[in-house]
Amino acid sequence: MLYYKDIETNIVQKFGSYEVTHEEVIEFASKYDPQPFHLNDEAAAKTHFGRVSASGWHTAAMTMRMLVDHMNAHKQAGLGSPGVENLRWIKPVHPGDTLRCELVTLQKRQSESRPEMGILKSMMTVFNQHDEKVMTMESTSLIEVRGN
């Protein structure tokens, strides 16, 4: 189990492989972001996207799946997250793309009001199969302090 003391800053963690399917893009968009360029090939062809693209929220959800799978493989004493900042969708994600992640912990500190809790500031970058950035976000996460 990884705790606050085990987390190092400025180390790049590379993980994940998520294949984006046409069916999943349409299903997600139908439920949560029903804009024509996420739902219909013909409508998308008339936009700057050129073809159906995943919702940015779907890209964020696929990223979260890869992150949780990574955390499950490398057990951490995680305590959740109060949120993200500076979420950017840089390049469209299309069916057939394969996504992967790089995560860097930029800062860490122990909570003053709750010393049993560590606070991590991280940068997540998501790439497609061509190593093009498709999404970035800064996040804050909480982790248990033990054995310091």
Q: What is the signed CA dihedral for 138, 139, 145, 146, rounded to 10 degrees?
A: -80
User: In the chain, what are the domains?
Assistant: 4-144 (3.10.129.10)
For residues 86-114, one letter each, b for 16 or more C-beta atoms within 10 angstroms of the residue's C-beta and e for the rest, the string is ebebebbbbbebebbbbbebeebeeeeee
pLDDT tier at 147, thresholds 50, 70, 90: low
CA distance linking residue 23 with residue 120, whole number of Å: 35
Burial of 15 (0-12, 13-18, 19+ CB in 10 A): middle
Question: What is the mean pLDDT of the segment spanning 65-69?
Answer: 96
Q: Look-up: residue for tokens 């013909």?
A: 42
Q: With contact defined as beta carbons under 8 Å apart, do 45 and 103 qualify?
A: no
Would the pLDDT of 23 be above 60? yes
What's the mean pLDDT when you consider all of the chain?
A: 96
pLDDT, tens only, 76-119: 999 999 999 999 999 999 999 999 999 999 999 999 999 999 99
User: What distance in Å separates the CA atoms of residue 45 and residue 65, rounded to the nearest whole number?
Assistant: 29
14 vs 32: CA distance, rounded Å:
29
Environment class of residue 126 by beta-carbon count within 10 Å: exposed (0-12), middle (13-18) or buried (19+)? buried
Q: Looking at residue 70, what is its pLDDT?
A: 95
Q: Hey, is 126 helix, strand or coil? A: strand
| 47 pLDDT above the threshold of 70 | yes
